[in-house]
Amino acid sequence: MAGGRPFIRKRPAIKKPPGKRYFPPALVLLITIVFLHVPARTPAANPSIHRLTVLHTNDTHGHPVKFSYYPNKDAGGLPARATLIRQIREKHKQVLLLDAGDLNTGQAESNLFKAKPDLVGYNHVGYDAMVLGNHEFDNPLPVLKEQMETARFPFLSANVKTRDGRYLAQPYLIKEFEGFKVAVFGLTTKATENIGNPENVRDLVFEDEVTAARRLVPVLKEKADVIIALVHMGLCESSQRGSKRLASEVVRH
């Protein structure tokens, strides 16, 4: 108490692309059911119908343990997330677990160790893939490469390359399930070249997201039954920007 008022620690300022809608860290966990092929009147009797449960987190920003997020004293944290994911996996046979980026820059226990506590937790939980968010470039590239080596899952991005044309991360992942294959490709907001740490992004090329997707999607159609775009691009009101632009222009194309 200070002057009769409770002390609340301020969260670090987080840069985000203009128009990007920000979600509280470590609080987002979405469950999506994807059906493949056309369902019959009695799905259980049709062996060509498959069910895929997709779990998705994003913008966890260095919160490996529970934290105070007013008015909640104990919010988020990897232990709670791991419990929920385990419960879902017990009920659903085929589960895909993804993260849409911004693992870095949060609480001290993560920042001091360059997100290693988070990555150890992600490994334990069993993530399948993570896309590079703009905050993955808060640290120098050698730190990012060390994080990739620590992770037992691929970091994805199909539109970030070095100056000599090499992908910085793996562009996509093909995941085999019982009866079907899923392709997951990653896209990082091009705005990173402007909002990222200049020292860390100056030797990188961020390709337009739609251009990269249009090039890659036809290739993935030959490799998989379902294609998932795992993107860190923001949700904007306009369909001319961010994820809405990607969905509109790539599907239409």
Give the confidence band of 241 by pLDDT, cuts at 50, 70, 90: confident
Total of domains in the chain: 1
* 13 found inside a domain: no
Give the confidence band of 191 by pLDDT, cuts at 50, 70, 90: very high
* 207 found inside a domain: yes
* 133 found inside a domain: yes
Taking only the tens place, the pLDDT of each residue in 102-139 is 999 999 999 999 999 999 999 999 999 999 999 999 99
* 3 found inside a domain: no
Query: Whole-prediction pTM value?
Result: 0.82
What pLDDT does residue 201 have?
A: 98
What does each C-alpha distance from 144 to 92, 99, 151, 239 come to in angstroms?
A: 33, 16, 11, 31
* 24 found inside a domain: no
- CA dihedral sign of residues 30, 183, 234, 83: positive
Tokens of 166: 């090499």
Asked if 202 and 137 count as a contact pair (C-beta separation under 8 A), the reply is: no
Give the confidence band of 210 by pLDDT, cuts at 50, 70, 90: very high
* 7 found inside a domain: no
Which has the higher per-residue pLDDT, 4 or 126?
126
* 60 found inside a domain: yes
* CATH number of the CATH domain containing 55: 3.60.21.10
Taking only the tens place, the pLDDT of each residue in 129-172 is 999 999 999 999 999 999 999 999 999 999 999 999 999 999 99
Per-residue exposure over 124-139, b if at least 16 CB sit within 10 Å of its own CB, e if not: ebebbbbbbbbbbbbb
What pLDDT does residue 46 have?
A: 63
* 161 found inside a domain: yes
Q: Could you list the residue range(s) of the whole structural domain that residue 160 is in?
A: 30-252
Q: Which phi and psi angles does 95 have, rounded to 5°? A: -125, 135
